[in-house]
Amino acid sequence: MPGQSFRGFAEKVALVTGGARGVGRAVALSLALEGAYVVVSHAPDDAEGGSVAAELREMGTLAHAFAADVSSAADVLGLFDSVGETFGRLDLLVNASGAGRERPIEELTDEDWQEVVGQSLKGAFLSTRAALPLMRGRASAAVVNVCSEFGLTGGGGGAAYVAAQAGLVGLTKALARELAPRVRVNCVAVGGASLDEVGGRSSGGGGGGMAGAPGDAARSESSRGRAPAADEVARACLYLLSSDARSITGETLVVGRGR
């Protein structure tokens, strides 16, 4: 059974993209423990989405899983239509899906770029835009984007990945200004290691979880800082979603700083 919510999550509706694995899964479980109703989206070919939803329901909360490619506008609209039909509202959104490709720029194809940027940056844009009608009139509506610290520090060997992560930081700042005060938008950056070391993301498409950070950069950064566990990143996400952070928007919180 979900525990007592001390941060105002009880019966709030939350959607976590990339919620089948890693950080996204940890966020979904943490929200359920706090009494939220949780929807997870997952890659169309990722069977783990259904098992996560079943696990959430076993905890005593309302939970659903929907397959969606978050880089597809049609899929995203279908996802949020399903949320609207099921709950009629949305209070919280966590964009935790993505993909990565570790290749020198000379070998990085147009398709690689489109997939990486699409699953991370475009996916967060499409999902946030689609969420806004369901968040209209909701008190304490909040969005958290999950990225890698490489979006702040850079790193060789993964131009598309780093660009997408930096874009998430910029998107967070832009939307925080545009949507204030009705929706808060913040970012959690996983530091000290690549997101795949946290078990968070896959290199495949469809929004199953983000991975594939630059290998050389990951090794360099992780040697200077401990990679956080997925539940540590989840706790940071829940803080920024909660009423404890009601005055915080447009910020990027680094967890497991590697600098």
Q: How far apart are CA 5 and CA 32, in angstroms?
A: 10
Token pair for 161: 């990945």
Q: Report the relative pairing of strands 141-148 and 183-190 from DSSP bridges.
A: parallel
Q: How far apart are CA 164 and CA 162, in angstroms?
A: 5
Contact 223, 18 (CB under 8 A): no
Contact 69, 127 (CB under 8 A): no
What residues have CB less than 8 Å from 123, skipping those under 6 apart? 17, 70, 71, 76, 95, 97, 98, 207
Identify whether 37 is a catalytic site residue: no
Which is catalytic among the residues 93, 116, 161, 245?
A: 161
Token pair for 217: 């950069």
What residues have CB less than 8 Å from 157, skipping those under 6 apart? 102, 103, 104, 214, 215, 216, 217
Token pair for 95: 């964009």
Which residues belong to the active site? 161
